[in-house]
């Protein structure tokens, strides 16, 4: 499969996925059963197959939601064939693990998917009990998968907290999972973010880059990273086969709180993805301030959707669907460029220069009085992480 971005499906898909696939902005979709009934999901897969035969269709079974309590699991309880809510540690006996795995894989085989994604549980630490359960589920998935004929390739799912990526514990975990005889991995990192932003601790990003590099470049696994948004750009540099993001902020960046009760949220404010700034900024007030500072041209990405934003973003209609398609096209163009570069050395040099340019741009904007709600410290964090990663590779 070509390196690319996938749509992370969720609530309120409207026509976005179809348009994304139709216009080749995304090359696949990762479906969310939480957000569709089984019948709707099944017929939706049939439609996607008929209309976009070359696109990749995957389903994240979201088995990890079963251990969250209290939980908002949407349609998941309707997936009685494999989803069992309110599971606790004691429910993961060998016999039960075998049953969960078989049910989950069988369900996916009954659909016409391009990959099977193994059931998993989320964990906070590579040495905790839940990570062991995650390994057992993966091993059982491999074992069961090997008994089947005519099956799509298997991806082992991993869902873990970004805090797990601090320190060196990931190495022993990597030593284990690199022995798995699977096609690849579907990985979701649970972020600690309170609001939509691009910040990530340098140590976490450096280890995430390394984790991806070890699996993809060194061990030739297909690595698909869910809910990655703009941080997916450096992760492509380190070898990810695909990164996925959706439309709302909770489909761009993953948090288990997506499956927990909330006191309600506000309507998302329109955002514009600026590749020169390596950020998705608020149309009001940030982009408007940039216009008033006379620097709009410098931050424009130039996609098929943003012509109207080049002059007066506030008055230009920027509905969520267009914002989303623009976001996907922005990411696709960057990823295509990364993939055109010959090796990791040149990819790292390229991302480094893009960060430096973005930083200069932010500094100019700051000098002209433009303020950003979440600042631009993510650039420094990304740079630090990439420098650390380069040093590890000896580049």
Partner 1 sequence: MAVPTLTIDDVKRIVPEASDIQTPMRGGQKLVFPCKIEGEERVLKFLLANLDVDTLDTEAATRNAFDEVTARAIREIETMRQCNSPYIVRIGPISLKRVEFNNQNLLFFSEEMIKGEDVKETLLRERQLPIREVILIGIHITEAIKILWNFSKIHRDIKPGNIIKNQRTMNYVLLDMGLTFDLSESSITRFGIIVGTIPYLSPERTQFNYKRQLDFRSDLFSLGIVLYEGITGKNPFLTPNIRTSDDVVHNILTLNVPSPNSIRQDIPIELNDIIIRLLTKHPHSRYRTCDELLTAFTSININEGG
Residue 207 Cβ vs partner 1, minimum distance, rounded to whole Å: 13
**CA–CA distance from 132 to each of 23, 124, 187, 223, 267 (Å)?**
42, 11, 16, 21, 39
* Residue 187 binds partner 1 (CB under 8 A): no
Q: Which residues pair with 188 in a beta bridge?
A: 159
Residue 175 Cβ vs partner 1, minimum distance, rounded to whole Å: 5
* C-alpha dihedral (191, 45, 272, 162), degrees to nearest 10: 10
DSSP string computed for 59-92: E---GGGGG-SS---TTGGG-TTT--SS--GGG-
* Residue 172 binds partner 1 (CB under 8 A): yes
Residue of 168, 69, 165, 81 whose CA lies nearest to 121: 69
Applying CB under 8 A, the span of 2-10, 167-175, 190-198, 230-238 interacting with partner 1 comes to 167-175
Residue 139 CB contacts under 8 Å (≥ 6 apart), including other chains: 180
Contact assessment for residue 224 and residue 6, using Cβ atoms and an 8 Å cutoff: yes
* Residue 179 binds partner 1 (CB under 8 A): yes
Applying CB under 8 A, the span of 50-58, 103-111, 169-177, 255-263 interacting with partner 1 comes to 169-177
Residue from the set 2, 37, 110, 178 that interacts with partner 1 by CB under 8 A: 178
Residue 218 Cβ vs partner 1, minimum distance, rounded to whole Å: 6
- What's the full length of the chain, in residues? 395
Residue 174 Cβ vs partner 1, minimum distance, rounded to whole Å: 4
Mark 113-152 with x for binding to partner 1 (rule: CB under 8 A) and - for no binding.
----------------------------------------
Residue from the set 12, 176, 368, 377 that interacts with partner 1 by CB under 8 A: 176
Residue 182 Cβ vs partner 1, minimum distance, rounded to whole Å: 11
Residue 291 Cβ vs partner 1, minimum distance, rounded to whole Å: 49
Residue from the set 214, 241, 278, 335 that interacts with partner 1 by CB under 8 A: 214
Could you tell me the two tokens for 180?
A: 């798995």
* Residue 219 binds partner 1 (CB under 8 A): yes
Give the strand pairing for 279-282 and 271-274: antiparallel
Tally of CB atoms within 10 A around 181: 8
Could you tell me the two tokens for 235?
A: 């992760």
DSSP 152: P
Mark 291-320 with x for binding to partner 1 (rule: CB under 8 A) and - for no binding.
------------------------------
Residue 222 Cβ vs partner 1, minimum distance, rounded to whole Å: 13
Residue of 350, 394, 392 whose CA lies nearest to 237: 350
* Residue 171 binds partner 1 (CB under 8 A): yes
* Residue 218 binds partner 1 (CB under 8 A): yes
Could you tell me the end-to-end alpha-carbon distance of the chain, in angstroms, rounded to an integer? 27
**CA–CA distance from 3 to each of 150, 336, 342 (Å)?**
25, 8, 14
Task: Please report, as ranges, the residues that interact with partner 1 according to CB under 8 A.
Answer: 171-172, 174-176, 178-179, 214, 218-220
């Amino acid at each position: 499969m070509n390196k690319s971005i996938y749509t992370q499906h969720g609530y309120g898909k409207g026509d976005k996925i179809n348009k994304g696939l139709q216009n080749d902005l995304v090359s696949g979709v990762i479906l969310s059963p939480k957000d569709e009934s089984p019948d709707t999901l099944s017929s939706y897969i049939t439609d996607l197959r008929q209309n976009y035969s070359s696109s990749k269709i995957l389903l994240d079974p979201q088995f990890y939601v079963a251990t969250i309590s209290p939980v908002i699991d949407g349609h998941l309880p309707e997936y009685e064939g494999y989803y069992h809510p309110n599971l606790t540690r004691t429910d993961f006996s060998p016999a039960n693990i075998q049953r969960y795995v078989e049910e989950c894989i069988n369900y996916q085989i009954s659909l016409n998917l391009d990959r099977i994604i193994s059931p998993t549980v989320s964990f906070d630490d590579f040495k905790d009990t839940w990570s062991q359960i995650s390994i057992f589920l993966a091993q059982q998935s491999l074992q069961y998968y090997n008994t089947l004929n005519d099956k799509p390739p298997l991806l082992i799912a991993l869902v873990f907290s970004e805090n797990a990526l601090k320190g060196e514990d990931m190495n022993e975990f990597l030593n284990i999972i690199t022995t798995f005889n699977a096609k690849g991995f579907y990985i979701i990192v649970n972020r600690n973010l309170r609001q939509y932003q691009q910040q990530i601790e340098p140590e976490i990003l450096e280890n995430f880059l390394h984790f991806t590099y070890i699996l993809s470049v060194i061990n030739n696994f297909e690595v698909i990273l869910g809910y990655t948004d703009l941080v997916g750009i450096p992760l492509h540099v380190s070898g990810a086969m695909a990164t996925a993001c959706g439309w709302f902020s909770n489909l761009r960046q993953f948090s288990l709180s997506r499956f927990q009760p909330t006191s309600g949220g506000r309507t998302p404010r329109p955002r514009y993805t600026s590749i020169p700034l390596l950020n998705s900024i608020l149309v009001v007030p940030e982009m408007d301030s940039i216009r008033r500072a006379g620097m709009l041209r410098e931050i424009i990405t130039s996609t098929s959707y943003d012509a109207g934003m080049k002059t007066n973003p506030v008055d230009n209609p920027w509905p969520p669907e267009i914002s989303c398609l623009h976001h996907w096209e922005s990411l696709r163009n960057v990823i295509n460029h990364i993939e055109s570069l010959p090796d990791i050395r040149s990819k790292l040099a390229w991302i480094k220069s893009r960060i430096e340019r973005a930083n200069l741009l932010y500094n100019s904007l700051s000098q002209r009085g433009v303020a950003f709600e979440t600042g631009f410290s993510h650039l420094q964090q990304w740079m630090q992480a990439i420098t650390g990663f380069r040093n590890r590779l000896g580049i």
